[in-house]
Amino acid sequence: MIDLHLHTTASDGLCAPDVLVDLAWRAGIRTMSVTDHDTVAALPAVERCANASGIAFVPGIEITSVHEGRDVHVLGYFIDRDDAAFGRFLEQQRADRTRRIAQIADRLEQLGMPIDRAALLAPRGARSVGRPMVAHALVKAGHVPDVRQAFDRLIGEGKPAFVERRGPSPAEVIEIIDRAGGIASLAHPGLLRRDELIPGMIAAGLAAVEAFHSEHDATTTEHYLTFAEHHGILVSGGSDYHGEKERRRSAFGTVGLPAERFERLKARVQ
């Protein structure tokens, strides 16, 4: 099994690097990429643990770009995590994440649903903060019964405590990944539902789309396989696993990228 979309506690995952690698091995995953949001903080530890377990490791990341106020997630693979310019860009991304979460916390307080903002916004080094952490804080504070309700009622797009993200365009993110030696893939396009954006992203250097994903049904997967072939790009794939308490847990060890398609991604880098 090849899973190129996994998350750790460095962003919004629930598993520390060593725990995630152990779970991956037990699930039959033999090639893995951790793609935390706007941070590469977990990659050294994941690489050490993966090498010790006999799992092939692909350095990765998931970067948030913004188009017309909406998040567009771009996956980067085979990146140079030590690239200085790349590191400075990620620092800016994490700073804006902190700004946004602070504003969301302000709105929640105004709505009479305060959360432990001190714990949420405590210095995290190179780790990143995001709305899923706000959702968990809302559950912990007893304002909502579960994470899904937090998004549906309060912090999802268009809801009372939602704050739009500011950030680089998809084309800018693709260029940044390219400069760091990586290749870019559009994350879960079936959830984005903005296929009209993809040709412009391809023109900017997008190398692939994530056809295989835990929330793509068979029809959606086939659609993006056909789309990729028509536009002459590659495909990536992974479970987007965040932890055993998250909704995508059933895809862990079952949704991944076929080996022959992974070889094409590697060949693109080479």
CA 251 to chain centre: 15
Pick the CATH number of 2-89+166-269 from 1.10.1740.10, 3.40.640.10, 3.20.20.140, 3.30.70.1070: 3.20.20.140
Q: Mean pLDDT over residues 71-84, rounded? A: 96
* Token pair listed for 228: 């990729």
CA distance 8 to 10: 5
Within the chain, all domains assigned CATH 3.20.20.140 are found at 2-89+166-269
Stronger pLDDT, 209 or 250, i.e. the higher one: 209
Give the model's pLDDT for residue 247.
Answer: 65
CA distance 231 to 227: 6
What is the SS3 assignment for 122?
coil
Stronger pLDDT, 166 or 196, i.e. the higher one: 196
Amino acid at 111: L
Q: What is the pLDDT of residues 189-248, one digit of tens each?
A: 999 999 999 999 999 999 999 999 999 999 999 999 999 999 999 999 999 998 876 666
Give the model's pLDDT for residue 245.
Answer: 65
